[in-house]
Structure 1
């Protein structure tokens, strides 16, 4: 699982792909997904009830208790397919028991406008993309954009991190997975329909501010890695979603080694994963110390609960016993 720089976003950033795609594209994707589901349902009416139960689908569920308060920690993936659901009964029951759900942020209500995204995405001065990238990388990137019916020159005002997100959109469209079928969105829609209290751990603005605040060296490096791995990226996204569906914790725990081997620098992972995990663990610690007697269901990208320093290890360092449920 090397060169998975594009896949990393599906484990760490809730809703960024959907936000960058725009509401209209998301709606089209959703309509297309609905049609696909209808076709699949017609073709699989006679399948076993075992598959419909969701048994064996997913994993990455932990539990921590403090006094009369219970908290479940569910690692998600921000892409998926409609036949993911329902998930394993252990996961579904943990959600059902919850009084309060805590996503990274509520993308159903907190998406920034396209104007706000542009403010984060564009260069602050007269710098252009072709000036900061090597000629070789720019030419390779231009070829990718041309294959997708776009002219890279129209992206010259955008920072490398945003262009990297555009590559992820291309990759997702080429793959069999969909941001509109992501596990985090699945739980958000259920929680909204069920009338559960939703409390965000972060905000969309915080995620975009983090991405846009990377040094230019880091942005260039990760975009170069994304371009280098682009040809295999769609297959890797599909492999990643299958790994998630199989609940392969060991594979997820070793992902940090793969990122290191791919040459990702310390700043990237510290901001994207480490610092956010520490902050989210501190918020969860405050909730646990309050001991309200409620049941909480936390769902965040899987790397947040598997890649050290993870939310799980941070809570353990604070003295909590964190049980791997499923």
Structure 2
């Protein structure tokens, strides 16, 4: 078999039978750049530590680790400055009743949310939910990858950085009230989604990005927090110099509609 025929056959085989991993991930080649896209969970369970040895070898052989933001830098991302009306004046009665019930369930004092922006309340509730499901930040996939990269003195590239992420949230209309509303409406659906993503790491990851996911965002929020960011990240990844990279982004960015791998592979 000639070299050219073998090369063509190998390419056909790789398209028909892409590499599968026991964690949520897929490989994308962009010319002279090879990306190992990892579906990260920002908070994980104890069973998700240590990371799979095969993934760590990928990182050891990579030229850099790429993450949404370097979350090991420390410091609070929240800025509570600014005058705003009490929460009871900013939220409708039905949503307020749901929030009060949820605070009672979580043993939280609703008074702690009185002057906070709605988007921050949503993130705090989501963090509480993750902790109730046994997830912790120091078991998060991107956190573990960042620690390993720093131990091996690997370059770290941020797709956004924490400041950009907070600026995005602050720019949401109505102080991010839609994010808080969606968090309250889809509370149980979001819990199932978190459990699904944990199972991707501990049991069976999806093999293809085109899978149906439960909806926890309105279409407008999904466009802002998922689709538009995927487009920005695609552009940043396509601009990388030649090399091998491990890219860790939230697992939801690798699956479903307008997923990042699909955008990268599009002509």
Cα separation, 2, equivalents of 1:137 and 1:197: 44
Deviates more, 1:158-167 or 1:305-314: 305-314
**Equivalent position SS for 2:254:** helix
Aligned to 1:79, which of 43, 46, 49?
Answer: 43
- Render the CA deviation track for 1:183-204: whole Å, top value 9, x for unaligned: 1111001001111111111110
Aligned to 2:195, which of 238, 244, 247?
Answer: 238
- Render the CA deviation track for 1:268-297: whole Å, top value 9, x for unaligned: 11110111111111111111xx43xx3221
Which structure has the highest helix share of the two? 1
1:118 equivalenced with 2:79 (yes/no) = yes
Cross-structure match for 2:245: 296
Aligned to 2:264, which of 315, 320, 323?
Answer: 315
1:144 equivalenced with 2:93 (yes/no) = no
1:200 equivalenced with 2:161 (yes/no) = no
Aligned to 1:278, which of 210, 224, 231?
Answer: 231
* Counterparts in 2 of 1:183 and 1:126: CA distance versus 1, 3 Å: closer
* Counterparts in 2 of 1:305 and 1:126: CA distance versus 1, 3 Å: closer
1:63 equivalenced with 2:28 (yes/no) = yes
CA-based RMSD: 2.6
Aligned to 1:161, which of 101, 119, 123?
Answer: 119
- Render the CA deviation track for 1:137-181: whole Å, top value 9, x for unaligned: 212212322343332123111121111112112212211222221
1:175 equivalenced with 2:128 (yes/no) = no
Cross-structure match for 1:228: 185
Conserved 8 A contact 1:79-1:179 = yes
Unaligned runs of 5+ in 2: 1-19
- Render the CA deviation track for 1:46-68: whole Å, top value 9, x for unaligned: xxxxxxxxx9641322231423x
Cross-structure match for 1:13: none
Cross-structure match for 1:211: 169
> How far 1:241 moved relative to its partner?
1.0
* Counterparts in 2 of 1:310 and 1:229: CA distance versus 1, 3 Å: closer
Aligned to 2:68, which of 101, 104, 129?
Answer: 104
Cα separation, 2, equivalents of 1:267 and 1:214: 10
Deviates more, 1:298-307 or 1:156-165: 298-307
TM-score relative to the length of structure 2: 0.81
Q: How many residues matched? A: 247
Unaligned runs of 5+ in 1: 1-54, 320-326
Cross-structure match for 1:254: 212
**Equivalent position SS for 1:202:** coil
* Counterparts in 2 of 1:150 and 1:206: CA distance versus 1, 3 Å: same
> How far 1:77 moved relative to its partner?
1.4
**Equivalent position SS for 1:146:** helix
Cross-structure match for 1:305: 254
Cα separation, 1, equivalents of 2:55 and 2:182: 35
**Equivalent position SS for 1:96:** helix
Conserved 8 A contact 2:34-2:244 = yes
> How far 1:208 moved relative to its partner?
0.9
TM-score relative to the length of structure 1: 0.67
Cross-structure match for 1:265: 218
